[in-house]
Amino acid sequence: MTAGSGLDRRRFLTRTSLAAGLALTAGPLAACTRTEPGTGAPRGDGGLLTELRRQGFVRVGFAGEAPYGFQEGGELAGEAPTLHREIFSALGVRELRPTLTEFGALIPGLLADRFDVVSAGMSITPERCAKVLFSEPEFVSPTALMVRSDDPKGLSDLESCAAAGATVGVLTAAVEASYAKAAGVPDGRVKTLARQQDGLDALLAGRIDAFALTAISLRWLARTNRGAPVRVTEPFVPVVDGVHQLGAGGAVFRSGATELRDAFNRELRKITGSPDRFVGLIGRYGFTAREVPPRTLRTADLCAG
């Protein structure tokens, strides 16, 4: 998995997809649809946790995006699968059975009962909350800049980019474009890029002065381009119309799976309530104590916008 493949995970704008039926499955039962006996109608989610414990596995959807959920050496790896494996094991469900699909097909696939949970570090947004249930935040995702190691303009955040007349790279259709505009960076100084790797390449070629993205993604990009003369700034929280834009990601469940979601949340709180445990589990994927969600940050508030 290349560092540039995490494009869509960070977008707060809901992306539609017709590719839900094209999911690549890993395991013979990953794409089956369970129905009510004798009716053929989709099965409701009451008692789903009991069913998962009985069968010994949970079907998870992921999008192959490092460092959130991807395959490494044939094994499911990344932030979300690592946390979810720990949580489901505590709930008595030993195995994650993965289904690889496009990012835009994750929610449609979940709603079609191709898997029981989305394990992709998906951002919690009001648009998505209208369709599915989210866990409490697994992590927060403050913004950062990637700059050249020498960085002659001394950039630290988007306001400093505006003051220095810097050209800022952002991913196409990503929320960082609106952050840059709110900070005073003129449209002509914002350059859109298709992939994360394109941002690093443009930075090294001098086409941009800074690449704005989440600190998590930029740290991973730097790690997978070890030796490149770049550095990642300290994270910061952009402000748009007076509102701090602190994004957060979580696990995703069907709307009827409240029992499973609530049980998941109880185990998740044990992890996010201990920064040492949090970093111990997913620190190898670039997550630090800065990404531990504060106790006051609730999914209900994020869903309300």
Q: Is there a single domain that holds both residue 262 and residue 282? A: yes
pLDDT at 243: 82
* Structural domain contains residue 147: no
Q: Is there a single domain that holds both residue 226 and residue 252? A: no
* Structural domain contains residue 132: yes
The three-state secondary structure class of 219 is: helix
Q: Is there a single domain that holds both residue 15 and residue 80? A: yes
Q: Is there a single domain that holds both residue 250 and residue 239? A: no
The last residue of a domain, from among 218, 244, 270:
244
C-alpha dihedral, 106 to 110 to 111 to 113, nearest 10°: 140
* Structural domain contains residue 57: yes
Decide if 79 contacts 36 (C-beta within 8 A): no
Q: Is there a single domain that holds both residue 124 and residue 257? A: yes
- Domain boundaries, position 172: 153-244
* Structural domain contains residue 146: no
Neighbours of 245 (CB within 10 A): 18
> Could you read off the pLDDT of 97-140 as tens digits, one per residue?
999 998 889 999 999 999 999 999 988 888 899 999 999 999 99
Q: Residues near 31 by Cβ (< 8 Å), separated by ≥ 6?
A: 23, 25, 99, 114
Q: Is there a single domain that holds both residue 97 and residue 215? A: no
pLDDT at 8: 45
Q: What are phi and psi of 13, to 5 degrees?
A: -80, 130
Q: Is there a single domain that holds both residue 236 and residue 197? A: yes
pLDDT at 12: 39
Q: Is there a single domain that holds both residue 40 and residue 124? A: yes
* Structural domain contains residue 296: yes
The last residue of a domain, from among 195, 214, 244:
244
* Structural domain contains residue 145: no
Q: What are phi and psi of 133, to 5 degrees?
A: -100, 135
Q: Is there a single domain that holds both residue 158 and residue 191? A: yes
Q: Are strands 210-214 and 168-171 parallel, antiparallel or unpaired?
A: parallel
Q: Is there a single domain that holds both residue 22 and residue 93? A: yes
Strand partners, 182: none
In this structure, the chain runs to a length of 305
Enumerate the H helices of the chain as residue ranges. 48-55, 79-90, 106-111, 126-129, 158-164, 176-182, 196-204, 215-224, 258-272, 275-282, 299-304
* Structural domain contains residue 148: no
Q: Is there a single domain that holds both residue 67 and residue 123? A: yes
What's the CATH code of the domain at 96? 3.40.190.10
The last residue of a domain, from among 244, 264, 290:
244
* Structural domain contains residue 99: yes
Q: Is there a single domain that holds both residue 232 and residue 251? A: no
Q: What are the residue ranges in the chain where pLDDT is below 70?
A: 1-44, 173
pLDDT at 18: 28
Dist CA 183 CA 155 (whole Å): 13
Q: What's the total number of domains in the chain?
A: 2
